[in-house]
Structure 1
Amino acid sequence: MKKLFSLFAISLAALLVGCSDNNVPQEGQQFQQLPDNLSTYRLPQVTEVFSLNCGHCRKMEEVIPQLEELTNQSIGKVHVTFNESAQVGAMIYYTAEMQLGGKPDHDMMTELFAAVQLGDGSTLTEKKEAIDQVFHSRDLISPYELDEAQQTQLFKAMHLADEITQKGEINGVPTFIVNGKYMVITSGHQDEQGIANTINYLINQNK
């Protein structure tokens, strides 16, 4: 009887824990506060920090439409510039953004990832042609065709992105900035639903 009672007690305790509010995102596991408040940069409420050279970012792009639906947000984008390959990716991304007046749509982002991450056996000429095609198919100027004034505009956008990632001390991508105050730890989630839950939780911390 004692063994049966102990088993019952353990099962009851497990049930109570399972019914508790343990699905609330935890600081240090699913998110962390940023060292600096980035609200002054007027970022969208939810902003993805990414790089076109990052394979994980490419996979994240596949679920961005679902995340936007689950969070009821139009997710903004900031391209990192923390190494040489990221700087090249940022030049490509911001060349598109400055001509479009905003972030590229999901289809264009998918094509940009594919062009930048063309197979290892591809030549520089082939990669350039793939990038040119993404822009020219939309009647846009490619990063290789910018005049001096456009290059100045591009470098201003890149400098701003660099400031944001440095002040936020963001050293890994992809991640999401919420309310300019929090960073989502994407590795602390199993799927896009979990990421969306954390984003929604953090959005409500601003209310």
Structure 2
Amino acid sequence: MKKFAVLLIMALLLPLQACAQEQGAKWEKGTHYKVLDEDATDKPTITEYFSFWCPHCYNFEPIVAQIKNNMGDNTRFNKVHVNFMRVGGGQAVQDDATKAMMIGRALKQSEKLNAAIFNYIHEQRASVTGMKDLRSIFAVNGVDTAEFDKLASSFGVNSMVKKNQKMIDDYRSHLNGVPTFIINGKYMPVFTREMTQDDMVNLIVWLSNQ
């Protein structure tokens, strides 16, 4: 009976292993991904560098959701907001948006409030000029303005903002545009013209397992 159970488990695993090998054979170093001269992270980590002002980043949000649904349970997902876009009212305003994102994270409402900022910029075609506009966006989405102001000046949120900036500084030489993904600290996927949305997701998830 024990031998039968082992054989059954092996029979179930073989198709999964074959699938993983097939995916690996599909992606070529130099064509579909780059290996960066950086230290690997201590655990599988997918980091997305993005900007709220970037239309490609906005359109990439469904793909990001798909990545999160398909990545391993032990994989971390980091979202890093950049502040070097030529649009967006300059670095100070983009830094304010980073702080707002961290406020949303502290409130454990990241997805909802990130979506609200994206919507304000790309659907309502409205301008974000600073924290006042971001506070209003959050208020419309149910965040108490006093709580917003309290978190904006809190040690925890400002520490997260500094960490976000360090992650930009550490990989700035690799960030020629957004969205850019860094996988496990050393792999950068390259999305070719013929790739489908599923291909992009599969490539990123596969790299996270390397």
Q: CA RMSD in A?
A: 3.7
- Distance in 1 separating the partners of 2:149 and 2:196: 35
- Distance in 2 separating the partners of 1:103 and 1:164: 26
C-alpha change, 1:133 and 1:124, in structure 2 (3 Å) is: closer
- Distance in 1 separating the partners of 2:185 and 2:36: 8
Moved more, 78-87 or 58-67: 78-87
Q: Is the 8 A contact 1:61 1:109 kept in 2?
A: no
Question: Normalized against structure 2, the TM-score is what?
Answer: 0.66
C-alpha change, 1:126 and 1:148, in structure 2 (3 Å) is: closer
Question: Match of 2:111?
Answer: 106
Question: Match of 1:192?
Answer: 197
Q: Does 1:141 align with 2:135?
A: no
- Distance in 2 separating the partners of 1:126 and 1:79: 15
- Deviation of the 1:189 alpha carbon: 5.8
Question: Match of 2:64?
Answer: 64
Mind listing any 5+ residue stretches in structure 1 that lack a counterpart? Answer: 1-19
Q: Is the 8 A contact 1:49 1:175 kept in 2?
A: yes
C-alpha change, 1:123 and 1:107, in structure 2 (3 Å) is: closer
C-alpha change, 1:99 and 1:59, in structure 2 (3 Å) is: closer
Q: Is the 8 A contact 1:68 1:75 kept in 2?
A: yes
C-alpha change, 1:95 and 1:43, in structure 2 (3 Å) is: farther
Question: Normalized against structure 1, the TM-score is what?
Answer: 0.66
Aligned match for 1:132, one of 131, 135, 140 = 135
Question: Match of 1:48?
Answer: 48
SS at match of 1:186: coil
Q: Does 1:95 align with 2:100?
A: yes
Question: Match of 1:10?
Answer: none
C-alpha change, 1:188 and 1:97, in structure 2 (3 Å) is: farther
Q: Number of matched residues?
A: 180
- Distance in 2 separating the partners of 1:204 and 1:180: 12
Which of the two has higher C-alpha Rg?
1
